[in-house]
Amino acid sequence: MKRIAIIASGGDAAGINSAILPLIQQNNFAVVAFHGGYDGIVQQDAFILRPEQVREGVASNRNVLRSARSQLPWQIEGRQQIRQRLHSLGIDLLVVFGGGGSLQAANLLNEEGLPTLLIPMTIDNDIRYTDYTLGFGSAVSVVTQALDQLHGTAHNMPGRIYVLEAFGAESGHIALSGALAGAAHAVILPEQPVDGLWLQARLRACMAGPFGYGIVVCAEGSAADKAVVGSQGGSLALGQQLAAALDVPVRHTLPGYCQRAAIPVAEDRLAAVALGQRALQAIREGTLGLAIGMDRGNAIGVPLREIAKEKRQLDPHLVVAARNLQMIN
C-alpha cells in the first residue's frame, strides 16, 4: 500500500483541516503526518491523523498540523536528511501545505527524486499560478469585521482618522479586499504608490462630510521602511504624517496575528475541499510533482517546475473598483 506524509510549512492559515479530510478518509493508501514543517520530518515523530479528529477541526482555527518555517530544504544536506527520513519510514509521496517559499522547497525535493505535491496555504494570496490560497478569505474576514467596528466607533465619536494595518507581506491582496468589503475611505497598497497630497485631500473631504471621520487601510508591505514588514507597526509612521498634516487625532488598529488564526470562513472551507479532492485525484492517477491550485473556480494541477517565482498581481477589476470609490489615487 502506498504511504504518504503530510506537513504544513511556513506561516499558518485557516482552513487546511478541510483539505486534509479527503486525503485521509479513503482506504487506498496510508497517511502519516509531521508537525513543524520540513524540519519536523527530521526532528519530530510521525503520527496518524484520525478522520474524526480532522472532521471535528473543520470549524476550528486550530489546525491538526502545526506549521513552522524551515531551514533544511535550503541546504543540500538538509534535503538529503528529509529524503532519507521519509525513505526509512517507507514514504512514497510528500504533500505540503504552504506558500511561495514552501513551493520552491517542494520543487527542489521533487527534482531530487522525492515525489511531492503542494496545496497552497498562505493568507497573502500571492502565489502566481493560483487564484486562491487557503486562509485568504478568513484573513479578509478579520479585516472586514474590524472595519465594521471602526465605522461604529467613528460614527459614535467623529473627528478622528482611523488607520488599520493589514497583513500580506509585500502584497496588498488582503488590504485591498478588506478595504472594499469594509467600505474604507482609502487603502495604501505596495503595488499602488500613493500620492500623499491626494490622500490628505481625500481625508479632509471625509472629515468635512456628513459622517466626520476617515478610515484608511494600510497594507504592511507599503511601509516606507521595508525593514518593518512582517514586524507590525509600519502604518504608525503614516498615522504620524497624517496627524501632522491634517491636525486631527489619528487612531491605530493592528489586527495582527488574528488574521492568521481566524475561524475559517465558508470560502476557505469549500476551496480546501476542492483542493484536497484534486490532490487525491493526482495521487490516484500517479501525476505527481504538482502544485494544486484554483483557476476560475476549478481545482487544477500545475507542474512545480513550471511555476514562476513572481508574485501574483492584484485583481485589476478590484483595483478599478477601488479607484472608482476614491480609495486609491
Active site residue 124: yes
Residue 17 C-alpha cell reads as 483541516
Sequence-distant (6+) residues with CB within 8 A of 5 are 31, 32, 33, 34, 41, 46, 86, 89, 91, 93, 94, 95
Residue 296 C-alpha cell reads as 476560475
**Residue 196: C-alpha distances to residues 176, 318, 323 (Å):** 18, 22, 15
Q: At what angle do helices 173-181 and 316-324 cross, to 10 degrees?
A: 50
pLDDT digits (tens, 9 = 90+) for 72-92: 999 999 999 999 999 999 999
Q: Which of 124, 126, 131, 268 is catalytic?
A: 124
The pTM (predicted TM-score) of the whole model is: 0.96
* Structural domains of the chain in order of their starting residue, each with its CATH number: 2-135+262-306 (3.40.50.450), 137-260 (3.40.50.460)
pLDDT at 230: 66
Per-residue pLDDT tens digits of the chain, which is 329 residues long? 789 999 999 999 999 999 999 999 988 899 999 999 999 999 999 999 999 999 999 999 999 999 999 999 999 999 999 999 999 999 999 999 999 999 999 999 999 999 999 999 999 999 999 999 999 999 999 999 999 999 999 999 999 999 999 999 999 999 999 999 999 999 999 999 899 999 999 999 999 999 899 999 999 988 766 555 567 888 999 999 999 999 999 999 999 999 998 999 999 999 999 999 999 999 999 999 999 999 999 999 999 999 978 899 999 999 999 999 999 99
Rounded to an integer, what distance in angstroms lies between the CA atom of residue 169 and that of residue 29? 37
DSSP 8-state symbol, 35: S
Helix ranges restricted to H, the chain: 16-24, 37-43, 51-56, 76-88, 100-111, 136-156, 173-181, 196-208, 235-246, 266-285, 316-324
pLDDT at 137: 98
**CA-based R_g, the chain, Å:** 21
pLDDT at 309: 81
